[in-house]
Amino acid sequence: MKKIWQLGFLLTMAFVLLVGCNQSETQKSTEKSGNTTQTADKTATYPMTVKDALGNNVEFKQAPKKIVSLIPSNTEILFALGLDDKIVGVSDNDDYPKAATKKPKVGGMDFNVEKVLSLKPDVVFAHESNAKSVESGLQQLKDAGITVFVVKNATNFEETYDTIKQLGQITNQSQKADQIVANMKAKVKEVQDKVANVKQRTAFVETSDEPEIYTAGKDTFMQEIFDLAKIKNVAADQSGWFKIDPEQIVKRNPDTIIVMEDYVPNIVEKVKKRQGFDSITAVKNNAVVLVHQDLTARTGPRLADGLEEIAKAVYPEAFK
């Protein structure tokens, strides 16, 4: 009986050693292959079915070879994923990156169905923000046998990360998507580290000139940017984007005024000369700053850059 037990013990130990050696060899092989192994792990499997923003289960039989994008945020993500040679059409509003301006245009918010059809894309990436208004056009594309995928309208950084990863998955660029997201998160952390010890300041942001001045309150993407950058929003007592009177801006007395678009020539100087604005701290300290809206409104790879620009506008000394 003792010999049987000893034999069983020896066989068990031999098996453990064999498994250990195999795992060690596998680990060494993985370490030697480096990126090759990572790429293999990230390779997409087709056909794949992905649920879009409208709840539609969209099937992709293979990685798209000809892509049309109907909105700038989608386009910026697709270019960042390295799909320049596969993008055959973009919207009239696409101006970044520069290569996007050289692509065939398919119209604005109301895209040209015939133009899209003529480009013979494998997939058209639409967007939740205007999907209802162009519903009939999207249906025409589907009826013509073109795959239509409606991308979610991201409302925060995390949803933007998810969108980038989703488009990376669909286009067989998951590893690139992961790197983009990692870079964005690193930039966000870098900004937060730089403003961590500053004394908090207040800011006001506007997207249009008087008499129709609109600003961002709480429950907005801009509020999340303010929160990440340790900025107090003087308009956070209201929700969403809303119209505000100039007198209210004077009363709230922000340390910085952020102008989100050069909607009229010399808008920064024009803001400073508004009636009563000479009493605002931002104007007194020459802290009226232009930050182009695309950096914070387009939910794509440049969003972290937009956060940095907003933080620089309010805390310039932290970025010297």
Please answer whether residues 231 and 311 qualify as being in contact, where contact means their C-beta atoms are separated by less than 8 angstroms: yes
Residue 251 pLDDT exceeds 60: yes
Task: Give the Cα-Cα-Cα angle 215, 76, 233 (nearest 5 degrees).
Answer: 20
Tell me the percentage of the chain whose pLDDT exceeds 70: 87
Residue 57 pLDDT exceeds 90: yes
Residue 143 pLDDT exceeds 60: yes
Residue 15 pLDDT exceeds 50: no
Closest CA relative to residue 231, chosen from 320, 295, 309, 299: 309
Residue 36 pLDDT exceeds 70: no
Average pLDDT, the chain: 89
Range from 37-51, 68-82, 161-175, 260-274 carrying the lowest mean pLDDT: 37-51
For residue range 182-191, list pLDDT tens digits in order.
999 999 999 9
- Residue 311 CA to residue 320 CA, distance in Å, equals 12
pTM, whole model, 2 decimals?
0.85
In the prediction, which pLDDT does 245 show? 97
In the prediction, which pLDDT does 84 show? 98
- Residue 142 CA to residue 124 CA, distance in Å, equals 10
109 pLDDT tier (thresholds 50, 70, 90): confident
Residue at token pair 């192994």:
37
Residue 239 pLDDT exceeds 50: yes
In the prediction, which pLDDT does 184 show? 98
Residue 118 pLDDT exceeds 50: yes
37 pLDDT tier (thresholds 50, 70, 90): very low
In the prediction, which pLDDT does 132 show? 95
Alpha-helical regions (H) of the chain:
2-33, 35-42, 72-80, 113-119, 135-143, 157-170, 174-195, 221-228, 246-252, 267-272, 281-284, 294-297, 303-314
6 pLDDT tier (thresholds 50, 70, 90): very low
Contacts of 150 (CB under 8 A, 6+ apart): 52, 53, 54, 56, 126, 127, 128, 131, 138
Rounded to an integer, the average pLDDT of 276-295 is 97
Rounded to an integer, the average pLDDT of 133-159 is 97
Contacts of 224 (CB under 8 A, 6+ apart): 156, 157
Tell me the percentage of the chain whose pLDDT exceeds 90: 84
Rounded to an integer, the average pLDDT of 128-140 is 96
In the prediction, which pLDDT does 261 show? 85
42 pLDDT tier (thresholds 50, 70, 90): low
